[in-house]
Every structure is written in structure tokens, then in C-alpha cells.
Amino acid sequence: MNTAIVLSGGIGSRMGADQPKQYIMVRERPIISYCLEIFEKHEEIDHIVIVADEAWQAFIEEWLKKENITKFFGFASAGRTRQHSIYNGLKVSKGCTPDEGVVIIHDAARPLVSDQIISDCLHGAAEDGGAMPVITVKDTVYFSKDGASIDQLLDRSCLYAGQAPEAFRLGEYLAIHDAVSDEEIAATVGTSQIAYKHGMKVRLVKGSERNIKITTPEDLSTFETILSE
Amino acid sequence: MNTAIVLSGGIGSRMGADQPKQYIMVRERPIISYCLEIFEKHEEIDHIVIVADEAWQAFIEEWLKKENITKFFGFASAGRTRQHSIYNGLKVSKGCTPDEGVVIIHDAARPLVSDQIISDCLHGAAEDGGAMPVITVKDTVYFSKDGASIDQLLDRSCLYAGQAPEAFRLGEYLAIHDAVSDEEIAATVGTSQIAYKHGMKVRLVKGSERNIKITTPEDLSTFETILSE
């Protein structure tokens, strides 16, 4: 039993639009509906939990009907940080997912995730406890403490750029959130960070350059270009 | 007295084309000609040295004439690694640049460098010894020694993606190359790496998302899109 948790709590301030980016219409569908369709069709996903601000839940429900999303289990409230939203999503997922089941946590604004990435994450988490898709870092990355001059060139062969979705065995991952302080949840930057910090193994699986997160107008036009291919 | 060293020794194997990427024609001009024009027009640049394989030097000379590049000083031979090519370019630059002058080392395949970046690098190197443009890293970057599971999430606020051009006071930068072993030159990954490793300060200046390096067909179409804006 695997559950997709779709994070849709963002407010989209970087897009310069009024509405959160995941609700922008592309080809007459909100961006969030693209990943919902992918999870609906993926045969290893049993349920979908959506973390969203209450103000948007009626809008989402309308689209769940239009798109015939039958796996929807329920909403979780948006939290004050991304990791708080995840925690809320985990608690709701407990209602439909056993401890040994896997939750796969995705961004509503990543409409191009592939079935392969989802499967690899689910299998990786089932076997190792956690899994996340990564791509290689193309940049030459320097470390600078003060932002004024270089301290160190990092070894690119050890660097990986994290993507979503990230997958974890629900029982272990939720137990960490129950155990740590609210401040630690607030300070969590990467979804996997809190997992490996508390002893879970997080397997790296192959991500994709196409699996973009839409945060800027440029990303939006890239998405439209890829759709028209 | 400042000299631009344009690195054009690459063979372009990643493009899937027969010719090196910097010689691909875009709007009836080879990509290398775009940065040559920028250096020609930049009032703080006095000379241009081009590092290129001998087989391509006649082609480049033809374009130097067509584009009216009057600052061209001479060719340097392509080396067996990028840093060897730079070393060759430094030695040729010595013929037109005093020790306290600045060499600014650019990739022929970065046609969109701005006047501002060039000026900032020149001033930074004149004052601090070295300077390079950087942009912030947007990815969540994880460190993994074995490429199989995560060891550490890196603090994004200390990470910078290096771009070209990089600028150095010629005398100090060349002296390092004269002093170190051939193996150390071969093992150098970033142009600035050999500088700060041997005690030179390298100032970070503001790069630009537009200052792309053309290495893939996607980069080429991004360049064409930007040109048509």
C-alpha cells in the first residue's frame, strides 16, 4: 500500500502571478492536475493525499472530479514550513497506509515526473527505508563561507541535485517527526535531510532533467515547450 | 593593459555535431565570433589571444577579418587539457601584457557574456589578484561519496556555480603555472582552483543566468531563443 502525498501549500511569490503557481492553467488544466493524473494512472499508487491551503480545496475538488481522480483519500492542512506540510500529510496518510507502506512526497508544481522515477522511488524506499531522485550537478560548484572569495572547489563527482518525489516507509519517517522538536522540523531544508540525520538510509535513484519544478516564468515556458513536443 | 584569452580548443563531442561547438553557425556567424565582438568593443580590453587547434586557425582568421577584430594579438596552441590551453594562452599573452596587467580567460562557447561581468572581473582581479563570476546554486545539493546513498545536505547559502570569464593578474597567475608540476596543471578542474590553492585571492563577482556555455543541443536552442528576444 503506497500513498502519494502531493504538496500544494506553496504561495508562489516568485512567479509574479496572483495565484500559487501550481494552480496556473496550462492547456486549460491547472498544473497540479498533471501530477495527479500520473499518480492516478500509476498502478503501484493506492491513495493520494493533497496538502493544500483550505482556500484552494474547493477548487482542487472540482478538478479531482473533472479528471476522474478516484484514489483521492483526503486533504491535509498546509503547514508554516514545507516540512510542517509534509508532517501534516504524513498524519493524514496514516489513515490509509500501513507503517511498512511507502509514502511518496511530490510537489504539485512538478508536472513532468515519470512513471519510472515513481517506481524507482517506491522500490528504493521499500527496500532501504528512503529514496530520492537526483541528477548530476553540471555546474562547477565553489564553496565560499563569506560569499566574497573562494574557499574551496567541490568535487563534482560527489555532488547530486535533489528532485522530488522523495519516498519513505511511513512508520519510520513519521516516527522521526513525532520525536523531534518543532524547531528541527522548521529548520529542515531537504525532505530527505531529516530522514538520514536520524539514521534512515536514503537511496539515490536516477532523476530526469525533464522533471522540472515550475517556479519562474521561464520554467513555465519550458513546460509548455515540452508539452508541445 | 588587459588581455582577453579566448579558449577555443574544445572538440565538442557532447554536441553530436562534426565540428567543435564554438564553430557552429548561428545567424550566419560562428558562435566564437559573438564573444570576440564583445571583447573588441569593450574599452578596457586591449588585446585578444585565441587558443585554438591549428586546423581551425585559418577559419578563425577569416572571421577576424569579416568581423573587423582589430585587437587580435595572436594564437596559442590548444593543450592536452583545458588548463594546459590556458597556460599556453598565458605565455602568448606575456607578449602584449605587463605582469600587473589582467588576463581575462573566456570560453569561446559562451557568447552571451556581458560588458558588466567583464568589467567586474577586470576590476576584481586588478584589486584582489583574481576574480570570477558566479551565480547562486538553485538545486538542493547533496553530497554522496558512493553515489548510492546520501551522506550530507550541503548548505546552499555557501554554494556558488562558477562561470567564465575568470580574470587574474598575469604575473602572479603565470608564475604559479611555471612553478607547479605538469601533473598538477593536468589535474586542475576549475580555472580559479590553481590560483586560490597557491595563495591568490579570488573575488566572487555577480554572474548571470544568461551567460550560458553552449554544450548541448538544448543550450543551442536557448541561445537562439535569447537572440530572437
A chain contacts of residue B145, beta-carbon cutoff 8 Å: 158
**pLDDT 10s digits, B16-34:** 556 788 999 999 999 999 9
B chain contacts of residue A132, beta-carbon cutoff 8 Å: 150
B chain contacts of residue A147, beta-carbon cutoff 8 Å: 158, 160, 204
Least confident of A111-125, A156-170, A213-227, B194-208: A213-227
**pLDDT 10s digits, A202-211:** 999 999 989 9
Section B76-104 average pLDDT: 97
Map out the domains of chain B as residue ranges: 2-132+160-228
Asked if B150's CB is within 8 angstroms of A158's CB, the reply is: no
* Residue A9 pLDDT exceeds 90: no
For all residues of chain A together, what is the average pLDDT? 93
- Confidence (pLDDT) at B14: 45
Type of residue at B207: G
Neighbours of A151 (CB within 10 A): 12
Asked if A150's CB is within 8 angstroms of B202's CB, the reply is: yes
Residue carrying the nine cell digits 519550458: A222
* Residue A15 pLDDT exceeds 70: no
A chain contacts of residue B162, beta-carbon cutoff 8 Å: 139-142
Pairwise CA distance, residues B16 & B13, whole Å: 6
**pLDDT 10s digits, B149-185:** 999 889 989 999 999 999 999 999 999 999 999 999 9
Number of H-type helices and E-type strands within chain B: 8, 12
How crowded is the C-beta side of B174, counted as CA atoms within 13 Å? 19
Q: Place domain B2-132+160-228 in its CATH homologous superfamily.
A: Spore Coat Polysaccharide Biosynthesis Protein SpsA; Chain A (3.90.550.10)
Contact (CB, 8 A) for B10 and B80 = no
* Residue A16 pLDDT exceeds 70: no
Per-residue confidence at A128, pLDDT binned at 50, 70, 90?
A: very high
Contact (CB, 8 A) for B134 and B160 = yes
Pairwise CA distance, residues B137 & A39, whole Å: 30
Per-window interface: A 138-177 vs B, CB < 8 A:
139-145, 147-151, 153-154, 156, 158-162
Neighbours of B13 (CB within 10 A): 10
Asked if A139's CB is within 8 angstroms of B162's CB, the reply is: yes
* Residue A11 pLDDT exceeds 80: no
- Confidence (pLDDT) at A206: 96
Q: C-alpha distances in angstroms, B34 versus B106, B108, B112?
A: 12, 8, 7
* Residue A182 pLDDT exceeds 50: yes
Per-residue confidence at B218, pLDDT binned at 50, 70, 90?
A: confident
Percent of chain B at pLDDT > 70 equals 96
Q: In the beta sheet, which residues pair with residue A129?
A: A201
Cα of B86 to nearest chain A Cα, Å: 17
Residue A112: phi, psi to the nearest 5? Answer: -115, 20
Percent of chain B at pLDDT > 90 equals 81
Residue carrying the nine cell digits 522540472: A212
Type of residue at A228: S
Residue carrying the nine cell digits 511518496: A104
Per-residue confidence at A172, pLDDT binned at 50, 70, 90?
A: very high
**pLDDT 10s digits, A21-74:** 899 999 999 999 999 999 999 999 999 999 999 889 999 999 999 999 999 999
Alpha-carbon dihedral angle through residues B165, B170, B175, B177, given to the nearest 10 degrees: 30
Asked if A204's CB is within 8 angstroms of B149's CB, the reply is: yes
Evaluated on CA atoms B184, B190, B194, B196, the torsion sign reads: negative
Q: In the beta sheet, which residues pair with residue B4?
A: B48, B104
Cell of A222: 519550458
Type of residue at A37: E
For all residues of chain B together, what is the average pLDDT? 93
Section B85-102 average pLDDT: 98
Alpha helices, DSSP H, located in B42-108: 54-66, 82-93
* Residue A213 pLDDT exceeds 50: yes
Percent of chain A at pLDDT > 70 equals 96
* Residue A7 pLDDT exceeds 60: yes
Classify residue A1 by burial, with Cβ atoms within 10 Å: 0-12, 13-18, 19+: middle
- Confidence (pLDDT) at A14: 45
